Amino acid sequence: MTIKLYNTLTDGLEEFKPIRPREVWMYHCGPTVYDYVHIGNLRSFLLADIIRRAFEFFEFEVRQVMNITDVGIGGNNDEGEDKIIKGLKREGKTVSMKSMKELGDFYTERFKEDIVKLNIEMPHVLPKASEHIPEQIELIKILEGKDFTYKTSDGIYFDTSRDKHYGKLGRISKDGESRIEQNLEKRNSQDFALWKFNSNLGFPSPWGQGFPGWHLECSVMSTKYLGNTFDIHTGGIDLASIHHNNEIAQSESACGCELAHYWLHNEFVNVADAPTSLKLRGVDKMAKSKGNQITLKILVEKGFNPLAYRYLLLMAHYRTPVIFSWEALEAAQNAYRKLKETVSTYHVDTTSVELSLMYVKEFTDTLENDLNTPEALAVVWKLVKDESISPADKYATLLNFDKVLGLDLEHNEFEIKDIPEEVQKLINKRESVRATGDYQKADKLREQIKNLGFVVEDTASGQKISKL
């Protein structure tokens, strides 16, 4: 078995070689819990899930850590305001340490609910930045002792000129333009905050009350739970140039060792049909700052199954941008529903079934090739259409594949008695309307039924109802 992953650190495909035999230890940048995560954010968490599921499919033991950012100044912009504080102001709440915790706890739970809906496995460790302040202070002390820090009027900064390897992820030039806002007290434009002072709020530290820098928390929590060097680190492509380079700089300067051997980054989810009020042209990256974010809650309210969105993301390689549109999601949901319905017809006595080893080999090859989920789905459909494979063997093999795909193919039974009375009345009314030839009204009734969580299809034998 040769597993190849695209390593942003070396800008190429590499054979995966674990630090510990048959074990994979990995860290993923998690959400900042000041609002609902949008479906663009969710792509990076799906990548983490596919990596975990794939290695477990390959019979590796996986240890997975994902952080929760519930405090931390700035993001890629050190001069920014703590996002939790921004969230409090947005919701009209009092700005205090108590309310910051309440807001962070609330959106942490909403995040957990979203990943459950997307059938994303819960990480083994889900640590919060606010619960690791002593460790963050200790890391700053280590860097201070090695002369990597300096103090300004607003905080403690990392001196990037002291790190000769700074910017090695993505080969960022030290002399390149910084996206961090200008601070005249900084020695170098790319220097970043380790601690920001705040006289009104924050945590005590040897340098003054305040908050840790956004980059610091990941260094602390990844190494606390995985050791100074671990196998895989992931995140969205927008994190590579600044956040991950800063994470590497402070971690590796502190320990004198490599932080992670493989860095994997997913591309953006772009919006193709943003509201006209946003005056966006073409496609645009989904982001809260752009006002074009779509949450999983909105998808569900519009009648879509969250796993249809998972299917849509699986249709694209993680290093390929996804252009989101409602039409694309509709097509993905139709394909997903067809797959589920087809698999449901394979329910047979499985006591003597065998996996189709030919298809298992094809499926495994796609995963070994940098987690190529579009090709993996192609193998699924190829198997579905192969009449030489018995239904029982198809069923067993597809459920085997679903350990990685996470599409919940096993559960799809839906009996007519389960249709709510309100939905059944609309179905009956639509049947009468179609009989009169009023197809426009029939389409409107179809939408009403869809909004209630059901799909109507017109077949030669009449209307067919299924659950979203």
Name the residue with higher pLDDT: 442 or 236. Answer: 236
Contacts of 197 (CB under 8 A, 6+ apart): 153, 154, 155, 207, 208, 209, 210
Query: Is the distance from CB of 6 to CB of 12 less than 8 angstroms?
Result: yes
At 434, list the tokens. 């179609």
Residue 88 neighbours by CB distance under 10 Å: 20
Its pTM stands at: 0.86
Q: Could you tell me the fold of the domain covering 269-405?
A: Four Helix Bundle (Hemerythrin (Met), subunit A) (1.20.120)
DSSP code at position 38: B
Distance between CA atoms of 125 and 134, rounded to whole angstroms?
Answer: 18
Distance between CA atoms of 287 and 424, rounded to whole angstroms?
Answer: 39
Tokens 């389960």 belong to 418
Which class for 415: exposed (0-12), middle (13-18), buried (19 or more C-beta within 10 A)? exposed
Query: Is the distance from CB of 28 to CB of 235 less than 8 angstroms?
Result: yes
SS (H, E, C) 214-251: HHHHHHHHHHHHHCCCEEEEEEEHHHHHHHHHHHHHHH
Phi, psi angles (nearest 5°) of residue 188: -135, 150
What one-character-per-residue DSSP string does 280-326 give? --S-EE--GGGT---BHHHHHHTT--HHHHHHHHHTS-TTS-EEE-H
Query: Is the distance from CB of 211 to CB of 196 less than 8 angstroms?
Result: yes
Distance between CA atoms of 230 and 19, rounded to whole angstroms?
Answer: 7
Angle (nearest 5°) at CA 339 between 333 and 344: 125
Segment of 364-378, 402-416, 430-444 carrying the highest mean pLDDT: 364-378
Mean pLDDT of the chain: 90
pLDDT band at 272 (very low <50, low <70, confident <90, very high): confident
Note the pLDDT tens digit of each residue in 169-186: 976 655 544 444 568 899
Phi, psi angles (nearest 5°) of residue 442: -65, -40
Name the residue with higher pLDDT: 271 or 263. Answer: 263
Which residue intervals of the chain bear CATH 1.20.120? Answer: 269-405
Mean pLDDT of 88-102: 94
Mean pLDDT of 437-454: 85
DSSP code at position 417: G
Task: Pick the closest to residue 48 from 316, 228, 219, 235 (CA basis).
Answer: 235
At 303, list the tokens. 């009648």
| pLDDT at residue 276 in the model | 42
CATH 3.40.50.620 describes domain 4-266? yes
Note the pLDDT tens digit of each residue in 23-73: 999 999 999 999 999 999 999 999 999 999 999 999 999 999 999 999 876
pLDDT band at 345 (very low <50, low <70, confident <90, very high): confident
What angle, 0 to 180 degrees and rounded to 10, lies between the N-to-C axes of helices 39-57 and 391-405? 120
Which residue intervals of the chain bear CATH 3.40.50.620? Answer: 4-266
Distance between CA atoms of 368 and 5, rounded to whole angstroms?
Answer: 8
At 28, list the tokens. 């993923």
| pLDDT at residue 395 in the model | 94
Contacts of 330 (CB under 8 A, 6+ apart): none
**Which amino acid, residue 230?**
F
| pLDDT at residue 439 in the model | 81
Note the pLDDT tens digit of each residue in 197-232: 999 999 999 999 999 999 999 999 999 999 999 999
Query: Is the distance from CB of 207 to CB of 197 less than 8 angstroms?
Result: yes
Q: What percent of the chain has pLDDT over 90?
A: 72
